[in-house]
């Protein structure tokens, strides 16, 4: 029988993971928003509030600006699509920070989430073998025909997510967790293998680049370990030989069969967002969610930093970046920087209260004691 704290961890892990699944609303993250705000007003936390007083003051001002916007801009009300649109982005980020400092998110919760991701990757592998994109059709997706040809891009699977990008993100997170968590060698190897397969069957170039960057940083951190470096040198030599022998094929796959570099229209989208930022440099979109039209639909910027800057303006943007840099250490940079790299080409972090945001700030802030404790297996 699970101990009481294990039951709580199990419930929290389910609540954190469920909104990442197909056709499930992210409204469940409202629970984590409440937990983060609750943590802010706890006596033990409030006594240390001076460390974040500037951030809290700026967020308080942003809340006033956010709700005032509804009175002066009818367009903001017209663009509301869910309950989360009534919450200022700044408040969500603040809640994530205090949630990361709390007891609610811990290594045991992340261990359980690793198991869930592992199961979903197995589902994705099954879909790939059956030549189907998904078992459960996303509500906003038309029927897709699985194209089994030389381009892996057209064979991407969804697992139990709304799209292949979501499964790729979770596979990338599993790769990070395989090193963050205190695991046996066998379990770590299984997680690494599953994460690698997950990134391959979703063929997400951003997750692939971020994953490789993570491996590079991991090697950089372990330069004194001759065994690891020796294995790394042999592995890199084999990979480079394969790349040299199959360079044309790899370029074709990465460019999705096109003659030139395929960036999925990001240059056009980013240009539109940059114009908006120049027109609204101080408060951005008054801390409201922003989607600009692109090819007949509303699109985010595919860059978390540009997205944050466009929604909150330069002052809050710089404050958040300073906070991240201030908390970057020799122990967490291996995990934090790859997520930031991922977010340069995707809208990864700074969604508000989200799966990746919560994990990102936990990596950034938590007092990780990898060598000093053992995670209780469930």
Q: What pLDDT sits at residue 257?
A: 53
Q: Is the pLDDT of residue 97 over 60?
A: yes
| Residue 95 placed within a domain | no
To the nearest 10 degrees (0 to 180), the angle between helices 164-180 and 185-202 is 160
Percent of the chain exceeding pLDDT 90 equals 40
Query: How many domains are contained in the chain?
Result: 1
Q: Is the pLDDT of residue 325 over 90?
A: yes
Q: For residues 154 and 166, what is the distance between their CA atoms, to the nearest angstrom?
A: 16
Q: Is the pLDDT of residue 245 over 80?
A: no
Range with the largest mean pLDDT of 116-125, 200-209, 245-254: 116-125
| Residue 208 placed within a domain | yes
Query: What pairs with residue 292 in β-bridges?
Result: 299
Write out the residue range of the structural domain in which residue 132 sits: 115-223
Q: What pLDDT sits at residue 184?
A: 92
Number of H helices and E strands in the chain, helices first, is: 17, 2
Q: Given pLDDT bands bounded at 50, 70 and 90, which one contains residue 155?
A: confident
Range with the largest mean pLDDT of 59-68, 241-250, 317-326: 317-326
pLDDT, average across residues 252-274: 67
| Residue 39 placed within a domain | no
pLDDT, average across residues 71-84: 66
Q: What pLDDT sits at residue 375?
A: 37
Q: Is the pLDDT of residue 43 over 60?
A: no
Q: Which helix (H) or strand (E) holds 334?
A: helix 333-345
With beta carbons less than 8 A apart as the criterion, state whether 112 and 125 touch. no
Convert the pLDDT of each residue in 163-194 to its tens digit: 999 999 999 999 999 999 999 999 999 999 99
Q: What pLDDT sits at residue 373?
A: 40
| Residue 291 placed within a domain | no
Alpha helix (H) ranges present in 157-303? 164-180, 185-202, 205-221, 226-245, 247-254, 266-279
- Phi, psi (rounded to 5 degrees) for 159: 65, -125
Residue 331 DSSP SS3: coil
Q: Which residues have C-beta within 8 Å of that of residue 348, sequence separation ≥ 6?
A: 169, 304, 339, 342, 356
Tokens matching residue 345 = 């080409």
pLDDT, average across residues 212-225: 81
Task: Give the lowest-confidence range in 25-39, 67-81, 274-288.
Answer: 67-81
| Residue 66 placed within a domain | no
Q: Is the pLDDT of residue 199 over 80?
A: yes
Q: What pLDDT sits at residue 176?
A: 97
Convert the pLDDT of each residue in 1-21 to its tens digit: 346 678 889 999 999 999 999
In terms of Cβ atoms closer than 10 Å to its own Cβ (0-12, 13-18, 19+), residue 7 is: exposed
Model-level pTM?
Answer: 0.86
Q: Is the pLDDT of residue 371 over 70?
A: no
Task: Give the lowest-confidence range in 64-78, 85-99, 224-238.
Answer: 224-238
Sign of CA dihedral 308, 314, 316, 318: positive
| Residue 122 placed within a domain | yes
Q: What pLDDT sits at residue 339?
A: 97
Q: Is the pLDDT of residue 302 over 80?
A: yes
- Phi, psi (rounded to 5 degrees) for 281: -75, -30
Q: What pLDDT sits at residue 357?
A: 95
Q: For residues 93 and 107, what is the distance between their CA atoms, to the nearest angstrom?
A: 21
| Residue 176 placed within a domain | yes
| Residue 235 placed within a domain | no
């Amino acid at each position: 029988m699970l101990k009481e704290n294990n039951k709580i961890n199990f419930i929290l892990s389910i609540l954190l993971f469920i909104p990442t699944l197909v056709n499930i609303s992210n409204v469940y993250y409202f629970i984590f928003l409440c937990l983060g705000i609750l943590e802010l007003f706890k006596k033990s936390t409030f006594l240390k509030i001076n460390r974040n007083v500037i951030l809290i003051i700026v967020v308080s001002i942003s809340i006033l600006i956010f709700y005032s916007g509804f009175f002066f801009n009818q367009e903001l009300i017209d663009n509301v699509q869910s309950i989360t649109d009534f919450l200022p982005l700044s408040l969500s980020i603040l809640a994530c920070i205090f949630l990361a400092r709390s007891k609610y998110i811990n290594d045991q919760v992340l261990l359980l989430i690793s198991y869930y991701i592992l199961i979903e990757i197995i589902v994705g592998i099954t879909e790939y073998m059956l030549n189907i994109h998904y078992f459960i059709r996303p509500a906003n997706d038309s029927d897709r025909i699985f194209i089994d040809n030389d381009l892996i891009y057209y064979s991407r699977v969804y697992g139990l997510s709304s799209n292949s990008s979501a499964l790729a993100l979770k596979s990338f997170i599993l790769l990070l967790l395989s090193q963050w968590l205190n695991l046996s060698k066998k379990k770590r190897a299984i997680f690494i293998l599953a994460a690698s397969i997950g990134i391959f069957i979703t063929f997400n170039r951003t997750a692939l680049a971020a994953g490789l960057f993570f491996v590079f940083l991991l090697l950089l951190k372990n330069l004194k370990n001759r065994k690891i470096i020796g294995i790394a040198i042999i592995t890199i030599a084999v990979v480079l030989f394969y790349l040299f022998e199959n360079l044309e094929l790899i370029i074709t796959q990465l460019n999705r069969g096109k003659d030139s570099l395929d960036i999925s229209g990001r240059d056009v989208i980013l240009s539109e967002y940059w114009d908006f930022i120049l027109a609204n440099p101080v408060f951005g979109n008054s801390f409201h969610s922003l989607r600009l039209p692109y090819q007949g639909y509303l699109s985010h910027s595919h860059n978390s930093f540009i997205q944050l800057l466009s929604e909150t303006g330069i002052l809050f943007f710089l404050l958040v970046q300073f906070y991240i840099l201030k908390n970057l250490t020799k122990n967490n940079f291996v995990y934090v920087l790859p997520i930031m790299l991922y977010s340069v080409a995707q809208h990864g972090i700074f969604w508000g209260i989200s799966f990746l945001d919560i994990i990102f700030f936990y990596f950034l802030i938590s007092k990780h004691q990898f060598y000093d404790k053992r995670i209780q297996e469930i």
